[in-house]
Chain A
């Protein structure tokens, strides 16, 4: 009887060590994931801030976007270093054991990375390209990138792009940009639609993407309707808008109209191509 007792005691000691190890690692990864989420959010703000900086005589729209992307990449390198450090925690079969803990930060990172990539190239970052940012110099991946996290991260990108398009509208050249973003997001939505049967959360996010798309479409609609009243080239319209903005700044705030152009422009078509 005594031997049985000790062996139960010993095995539960071992189980305790095993469970503690699991729980501790899990906590560490949740914390790391939160840090990565934070850094990603900061990167996204940074990208918005720089890409919407003032376009002057010397700086073009495209240059600003490139500049934003470069600084964004710089910031994202911090996250890549985080992942490099996490590597031993996620080695071998451990990655899939803790995937649920890693996933939120990873998706946020992909969102930030794909935003920078969009500003840089005007295109969607590929799966391969994302995985390549999570490799050591010898080309060995820190962990295998799950397709679901890749797609879910990209799905969040559409929300950022909506914000980007709407806040660009009041700027020089912003209307053209809004139209580009609109077309791009529409393409994304169509592409993701094919993948929804595979990934449950993606269909939920598709609803959000549809909303974002609708907002951009409404804004684009409002611009077309309003600019049709003036038979002016876009550059001159830009000038008029810029002038009223500067007048507004000079003559105080009595005539404040909080973001009137952002309100819904009327009926919208649910385009679903």
Chain B
């Protein structure tokens, strides 16, 4: 190799290193935010239902501040290179979407859609080759949501909220039915999906305990699957 070629290659490689460092800074920022949210949301397990809305309100500013991170990353990533760099932040992204989905469930008892999740994180369609929320990451977040809800089913009973496990059970079953429609190949998503049945079993047991002791009324119209 002559020197000019060597220099050219080194320049290309250096540029990538520099970019990686800049993205890394943003990811650190992102991580801080997601940790804050996880910390706050952990309190749902010890918060009575009437105080939940206030708790969620306290998380919202952090959630919306994630938009500045996604915008900064979209700015940094070169055209068409989303998939080249996404591994750097996909964990933070999944945690953020998980937080958003949990908040949506607790406020409206609804599933946060992919479009809503993207919007919450401030994704813009014109960035899609640089920054976007892929289906796979969104689905990972939903599995985390189920993991968390199975804990909540147990802890809400401890707090004396006997209705919550039943609502959770209905919601999670629907979600599980949705996941069952997917053709998952042998990857982490598949493994995590396989573990969902333990969460469902746990929730079922709580529902069983609660209904057996007539602590809550289980609706009879539960769709049979």
Residues in B neighbouring A151, C-beta threshold 8 A: 9
Which A-B residue pairs are the 10 nearest by beta carbons? A12-B178, A97-B83, A96-B83, A96-B84, A93-B129, A198-B13, A93-B80, A191-B1, A18-B135, A12-B181
Task: State A126–B2 Cα separation when bound (angstroms).
Answer: 9
Task: State A198–B15 Cα separation when bound (angstroms).
Answer: 11
Residues in A neighbouring B215, C-beta threshold 8 A: none
Interface of A is mostly: helix
Instruction: Give the residue of A8, A150, A194 whose beta carbon is less than 8 angstroms from that of B111.
Output: A8
Q: Judge whether B46 is part of the interface by a CB distance below 8 angstroms.
A: no
* Docked-complex contact A4 and B183, CB < 8 angstroms: no
Task: State A12–B10 Cα separation when bound (angstroms).
Answer: 45
Residues in A neighbouring B178, C-beta threshold 8 A: 8-9, 11-12, 15
Instruction: Give the residue of A7, A97, A127, A198 whose beta carbon is less than 8 angstroms from that of B5.
Output: A127
The 0/1 profile, CB within 8 Å of A marked 1, for residues 163-189 of chain B is: 000000000001101110111110000
Residues in A neighbouring B119, C-beta threshold 8 A: none
* Docked-complex contact A4 and B80, CB < 8 angstroms: no
Task: State A146–B137 Cα separation when bound (angstroms).
Answer: 25
Residues in B neighbouring A4, C-beta threshold 8 A: 110-111, 174
Can you name 12 A-B residue pairings with CB atoms under 8 Å?
A11-B113, A11-B178, A15-B135, A16-B181, A19-B135, A20-B183, A23-B185, A93-B80, A93-B82, A97-B82, A126-B5, A147-B16
Chain A CB within 10 A, most for which of B1, B81, B110, B183: B1
Q: Judge whether B52 is part of the interface by a CB distance below 8 angstroms.
A: no
**CB-CB under 8 A for A198 and B17, given A8-B175, A93-B128, A127-B5:** yes
* Docked-complex contact B139 and A195, CB < 8 angstroms: no
Q: Judge whether A92 is part of the interface by a CB distance below 8 angstroms.
A: yes
Q: Which chain A residues numbered 173 to 223 have a C-beta less than 8 Å away from chain B?
A: 187-188, 191, 194-195, 198-199
**Interface residue range, chain A:** 20 to 34
Q: Which chain B residues numbered 53 to 106 have a C-beta less than 8 Å away from chain A?
A: 80-84
Report the number of A-B residue pairs with Cβ-Cβ less than 8 Å.
Answer: 84
Residues in A neighbouring B9, C-beta threshold 8 A: 127, 147, 150-151, 195
Residues in B neighbouring A194, C-beta threshold 8 A: 6, 10
Chain B CB within 10 A, most for which of A9, A147, A188: A147
Q: Judge whether B41 is part of the interface by a CB distance below 8 angstroms.
A: no
The 0/1 profile, CB within 8 Å of B marked 1, for residues 2-33 of chain A is: 00110111011101101110010000000000
* Docked-complex contact A19 and B129, CB < 8 angstroms: no
* Docked-complex contact A96 and B1, CB < 8 angstroms: no
Q: Judge whether A73 is part of the interface by a CB distance below 8 angstroms.
A: no
Task: State A4–B82 Cα separation when bound (angstroms).
Answer: 32
Task: State A97–B87 Cα separation when bound (angstroms).
Answer: 11
Q: Judge whether B136 is part of the interface by a CB distance below 8 angstroms.
A: yes
Residues in B neighbouring A144, C-beta threshold 8 A: 80
Closest B residue by C-beta to A191 = B1
* Docked-complex contact B84 and A99, CB < 8 angstroms: yes
